[in-house]
Amino acid sequence: MTFSVAVVGASGYAGGELLRVLADHPEFEVRTVTANQSAGLPLGEVAPHLRSLAHLTLRETTPEVLAGHDVVFLALPHGMSGAITEGLDPQTLVVDCGADHRLTDEAEWATFYGGDFYGAWPYGLPELLHGGTGGYGKQREQLVGVKRIAVPGCNVTAVTLGLAPGLRAGVISPQDLVAVLAVGPSGAGKSLKPHLLASEILGSAMPYAVGGTHRHVPEIRQNLQLTGAGAVSISFTPVLVPMSRGILATATARLEPGVSAADVRAAWELAYNGEPFVHVLPAGRFPKTADVVGANTALIGLAVDEAAERVVTITAIDNLVKGTAGAAVQSANIALGLPETLGLTVNGVAP
């Protein structure tokens, strides 16, 4: 069966990456692309790299235009998805790559985003670990057959995948977690911003949202608390670096007393054993962002700093694939009963 697809926000980076991934998916047919500011333009003019979809024309985003599709992917800034989704058929699978349906806590939404709160949807990170009194499992079990999916924030995916195994296994403390991320500017979207100009980025690195103000902080806490670790305290600092795409997340945590390096490695390897897209590298090896460009892969390097009594995890993802479009398609596959890996690759692009 072929599923008809509409992509909203198709002129942006996330929307364009969704289209690139969907174009090679054997069970999805992209029939409609929308982008209000670019409505009326040929997709081939806005996204000339998408040759197989160049015949499509961008349309305005209205419920009437989106009606009749099996799947609707939303790639919009926060605050814009909620109003649109309220007008869509409840039997249509809607996958939101924005932030509007990620957070469960309305107070956290008000603090970090503001505006109308539309409530949380099933969360599109299949590898997210669950633990505690609710039992052990992974998020993919919660995605089977659903009609609404909230795709995680890209930084959230990198930090969550890096730290969650240690928290669920009880080998690291949920307090004093620290994450510093090198991120590319495509994560900030395609709209013009002076600090994202090439003259500002090239040859420089710049921290932003310092001091716990980044909007992904409550989402990271929300995910890590699902492991059963209890209250989580994390310091999160992103650093903008001159690479078009990619995230390299270095996250550290305090070792629990009596935990050995072997215990640490066992926790991560057990957590991701058999996962098609999350791979723990052998001891002594660490990822680089170039290894995951274009791939729906998360590569995790792991070490124990004995002197500091800390675990060090380094996670590399492509922010536009495993961090956005790949996660969206992976989750949609699960919801529709398709093979989870369909239309997705673990192979990066080199050099």
Q: Report, as residue numbers or ranges, the catalytic residues.
A: 154
In the structure encoding, which two tokens stand for residue 69, read together? 């599709």
- Cite the DSSP H helix spans in 145-250: 154-169, 198-201, 217-224
- Cite the DSSP H helix spans in the chain: 13-23, 43-46, 63-66, 81-85, 106-112, 154-169, 198-201, 217-224, 261-272, 326-336
The counts of H helices and E strands in the chain are 10, 15
In the structure encoding, which two tokens stand for residue 342, read together? 């369909």
Question: Which residues, 6 or more positions from 282, have their beta carbon under 8 angstroms from its beta carbon?
Answer: none
CA 264 to the chain's CA centroid = 25
Question: Which residues, 6 or more positions from 16, have their beta carbon under 8 angstroms from its beta carbon?
Answer: 10, 47, 49, 50
In the structure encoding, which two tokens stand for residue 214, read together? 């980044």
Coil, strand, or helix at residue 300? strand
